[in-house]
Chain A
């Protein structure tokens, strides 16, 4: 194939292709758009405008497009592009090499990230972009680079630049939002958007353990999210627990729920497992919806905000003898403080979770998950208790979902069952699939893109689901293994 780069371009063929597609489009769309019913007569309006309702025009556009594509793929550049995409579909997973931890390899995302941030700031400086949006995007870029740093494991006996960079990025991630907020670049709306984005990162990471690593298709993941959220809301209502208690206890409760779900479904595979988990997700939602006396049903339940060493973030303190945060520090009241605080805590928790999950993959437990995904029978023949391994995967995933739920509840200040419907589960699953099953960085990027894109593209809100579907189709064609393919760790014996 490579040798025949100078093959002449077959214009006739391209023309024929273009003609066929054009005529087909005309046949399909022409009668619908260009024949207009006027009274009792049908008139043919050949030059009907605008273009979108003119089948003839559309047919011309389609034919032209097909011609360009047909010629394009015959050029060397086009052919290269095709073979590149073809190859990527063919072999998915690669093994990391020693060069992966080199300075220049590590610096590449850093440089790209830095350049991107700079570009955004320049754009906003000249008024080409909303300043607040640019500031938020800078924070996102920072988080993605940090995510890559946290998600890469140092090879034994090798120094990695990430060792210095990760703490720096981490501190920057904590300080920059405060500075941006103080400069008025980071208002409440954007803090809220970023909080939601990070919550979805957390959910994606959790489901990634179950689906991506252990290979158990879970369509009811949102149930654990709901458990975490309602634990804070109902716990505060009935037992007076606060945000921090919930943050510690909700993961345990969610993990227990994961175990409860895990036990009956352990014998199932693939489709059956998916259906049972789907049912579990719906059961939790229906309980929350219908058990009016306890959960408040569709009316939902209020959830308390966070506190900082007993200081509340409300305008006036709720608890007796408590001082609000702003009074204690002698500041002007601002609702931003609460959200900023949630953002910072969430940032720390997500960073810790990324690190934890990255370590898990290098631990016997994580390896056993992946082995189980590859071949359950072989696992059993090696003395691995597949029941326990599956159960741990369910529990770890549920735990992460539970933590995300607590943050969601405290951020919203209110929870009700509509937040935990099936579509949420699908969205989280889409994050995992688009990001690349088993890839931490891929999941982070996919979560940020899928949650923030609708915010950035508010004008196209009506076409959100359409765009979402188109994105899915394109990804499945070009990158069926997801955005980022995970790399296998390489090992060397001690002597080498």
Chain B
């Protein structure tokens, strides 16, 4: 909002229609470089749809989603519609990583393998080098393993390194999914309800982790969350959606006192409050 930091992600006039249903209507917001931004709203407000548009899983019907990268500005819609090779994987390569509401780990692979898959782009993919286990291949592989263990350490998952991802407890699976997203080396990491299904102490640990991701590892965070304690505690910028439209946008204090937000969550007798 009124911060001096440059915007990393700019969403302009995002509209998403599924047939006759308008999931998002003219959504505008920005995510500042190095910020923790939360996207909140009642069930069915269209939060996940915005998320899917930003991470390239949906092609927005209208509007532009621009990401600042080292190589300049990238438009998400353009990556998706690129001829032949276009696709959501390009969005991930441009620097937007994500997690999923219902965890999508590679369940029958170990935690380390999950993280190695995420580093696909950085490893040595030369077929010959790999077949003959060349020095270059080994070096790249070692580096990848090192990076995987680094993120396991950050996420406090070292003990689970060689366990199958599917066999881990729920809270650890969530953390592993974040570690996996971080292994792609993103500029923006999008967390879809990271605290869903976690108990209070795990949620506390998670909010500490997210703060550290931003503080120590210099990544910008965009998250959807229903746990208001978590949202108000860690995010400096909150975007509230209701019925597919942005009804409030600002810092936690502003959101807490916004009549439109209160109306959307709690309902009011005077229904004209919506902006």
Interfacial residues, chain A to chain B (CB-CB below 8 A): 91-93, 95, 156, 356, 359-360, 362-365, 367-368, 370-371, 374-375, 377-387, 488-491, 493-494
Contact = CB atoms under 8 A, between A and B. Distances in A.
Interface stretch (B27-35, B64-72, B143-151, B265-273): B143-151
Contacts, number: 127
Given A93-B108, A95-B164, A488-B113, A493 B146 contact: yes
A377 B116 contact: no
Contact of A364 (B85, B107, B112, B123): B123
Contacts of A491: 110, 112-113, 145, 148-149, 161-162
B186 to A, nearest CB: 9
A250 to B, nearest CB: 19
B130 A359 contact: yes
Interface stretch (B86-94, B203-211, B231-239): B86-94
Interface stretch (B3-11, B98-106, B241-249, B253-261): B98-106
B47 interface: no
Cβ-closest 4 pairs across A and B: A383-B92, A363-B130, A374-B106, A378-B104
15 contacts: A95-B164, A363-B127, A365-B125, A367-B116, A367-B117, A368-B117, A368-B120, A379-B117, A380-B89, A382-B89, A383-B121, A384-B89, A488-B164, A490-B162, A493-B145
Contacts of A383: 89-90, 92-93, 120-121, 184
A488 B110 contact: yes
Nearest to B123: A364
Contacts of A365: 125, 127, 130
B17 interface: no
B131 A359 contact: yes
A382 B113 CA distance: 13
Contacts of B109: 367, 370-371, 374, 488
A16 B146 CA distance: 63
A367 B130 contact: no
Contacts of B55: 381
A374 B103 CA distance: 12
A364 B138 CA distance: 12
A384 B106 CA distance: 14
Interface in B160-202: 161-164, 167, 180-181, 184
A287 B39 CA distance: 57
B123 A378 contact: no
B227 interface: no
Given A360-B130, A381-B88, A384-B120, 11 more contacts: A95-B162, A365-B127, A382-B92, A382-B97, A382-B117, A382-B180, A383-B121, A488-B110, A490-B112, A491-B162, A493-B145
Nearest to A363: B130
Nearest to B152: A493
Contacts of B26: none
A371 B119 CA distance: 12
Contacts of B108: 92-93, 370, 374, 488
Q: How large is the interface on B (under 10, 10 to 19, 20 to 34, 35 or more residues)?
A: 35 or more
A378 B114 CA distance: 10
B104 A375 contact: yes
Contacts of A386: 87, 89
B76 interface: no
B117 A384 contact: yes
A95 B110 contact: yes
Nearest to B148: A491
B159 to A, nearest CB: 13
Contacts of B142: 156, 494
B130 A381 contact: no
B145 A378 contact: no
A382 B130 contact: no
Given A364-B120, A493-B149, A378 B106 contact: yes
Interface of B: 55, 57, 85, 87-90, 92-93, 97-98, 100, 104-110, 112-114, 116-118, 120-121, 123-125, 127, 130-131, 133, 137-138, 142, 145-146, 148-149, 161-164, 167, 180-181, 184
Pick from B55, B106, B138, B163 the residue with the most CB of A within 10 Å.
B106
A489 B117 CA distance: 13
A386 B55 CA distance: 16
Nearest to A493: B149
A362 B125 CA distance: 11
Contacts of A362: 130
Nearest to B94: A383
B119 to A, nearest CB: 8
Nearest to B111: A491
A171 to B, nearest CB: 21
Nearest to B93: A383
B107 A382 contact: no
Contacts of A364: 116, 120, 123-125, 130
Contacts of A360: 130-131
A378 B107 CA distance: 11
Contacts of A379: 89, 117
A375 B102 CA distance: 12
Contact of A382 (B120, B133, B137): B120
A378 B100 contact: yes
A493 B145 CA distance: 7
A385 B85 contact: yes
A375 B108 CA distance: 10
A359 B133 CA distance: 8
Nearest to A389: B120
Contacts of A356: 131
A484 B138 CA distance: 29
Contacts of B105: 374-375, 378
Contacts of B114: 371
Contacts of A156: 138, 142
B162 to A, nearest CB: 4
A371 B106 contact: yes
B146 A494 contact: yes
A247 to B, nearest CB: 18
A375 B163 contact: no
A375 B106 contact: yes
B112 A382 contact: no
A488 to B, nearest CB: 5
A258 to B, nearest CB: 15
A156 B125 CA distance: 19
Contacts of B145: 491, 493-494
